[in-house]
Amino acid sequence: MTDLRWPSAQPTLDASGLTLRPWRPSDADAVYAACQDTEIARWTTVPSPYERAHAESYVGPASTGAWLNKTAANFAVVDPDGTVVGSFGLVRMTPSQGVAEVGYWVAPGARRRGVAVCAAAAVTQWALRDVGFARVEILAAVGNAGSRRVAERIGFTLEGVLRSAGAGRGERLDLAIYSRIATD
Ligand SMILES: CC(C)(COP(=O)(O)OP(=O)(O)OC[C@H]1O[C@@H](n2cnc3c(N)ncnc32)[C@H](O)[C@@H]1OP(=O)(O)O)[C@@H](O)C(=O)NCCC(=O)NCCS
């Protein structure tokens, strides 16, 4: 059993100029637009087709409830001007074991400028240092070169490949499993 320091209110995190904050209802337009992207549909578990109602739930009751129930921690990543550029957080948690998975997407127009490296590092540091998780995982499809590079850039260790562990759109996916542990 692992004791976690899980605050009652979701915090805001700084990440080298980016801010990770709780989702707000006014973010629904940005999430709806980003999640029309074919790469997000291909590599993540967000619903596809992605409807307006999915976005409204995600930026409201789904994320609020997940925080309260300690099942996930979803953060909006915003630029200094307030533009939503991504979604990062702990998407699958086993608090009793002290283990969580980092999940993410970056909006198509904000890619290839370091958003994922900054935001994923911030979430990982918060989970391991502040909350007290012992282990944080990233599971990326073997063919998802961008996500795998993000895991490598922020110091995760490749442990192997989970065969047919992901349900892609019409195909099974082999998932590369990466981890960082608190003592790394
Ligand atoms: C994968 C993803 C999160 C990367 O976000 P990003 O903000 O563009 O990534 P960064 O700018 O921080 O780049 C990090 C590294 O990955 C590399 N990279 C990014 N996208 C890449 C791609 N499509 N192919 C190969 N390398 C890529 C960058 O060049 C950089 O490596 P470098 O420092 O050696 O040059 C983004 O493309 C995305 O949202 N994809 C769809 C959703 C997804 O795959 N989520 C993860 C599911 S496990």
Ligand 1 centre to CA of 108 (Å) is 10
Inside any domain, residue 5: no
For residue 133, how many other CB atoms are within 10 A of its CB? 26
Residue 57: CATH number of its domain: 3.40.630.30
Q: Tell me the longest C-alpha to C-alpha distance in the chain.
A: 42
Ligand 1 centre to CA of 127 (Å) is 21
Mean pLDDT of all residues in 43-48: 95
The rounded mean pLDDT for the chain is: 97
Residue whose CA is closest, atom 17 of ligand 1? 146
Ligand 1 proximity of 45 Cβ (cutoff 6 Å): no
Question: In the structure, what pLDDT confidence band is assigned to residue 1 with cuts at 50, 70 and 90?
Answer: low
CA 27, CA 180: separation in Å to the nearest integer?
30
* Tokens representing residue 33 in the block: 């637009």
Mean pLDDT of all residues in 12-34: 97
- List pLDDT tens digits, range 120-166: 999 999 999 999 999 999 999 999 999 999 999 999 999 999 999 99
> What single string gives the DSSP state of each residue in 1-25?
-------SS---EEETTEEEEE--G
- pLDDT higher than threshold 90 for residue 170: no
Ligand 1 proximity of 87 Cβ (cutoff 6 Å): no
Ligand 1 proximity of 38 Cβ (cutoff 6 Å): no
Structural domains in the chain (count): 1
| C-beta separation of 17 from 122 below 8 A | no
- List pLDDT tens digits, range 54-91: 999 999 999 999 999 999 999 999 999 999 999 999 99
Q: Is the dihedral of CA 6, 10, 12, 13 positive or negative?
A: positive
Domain enclosing residue 145, as ranges? 13-181
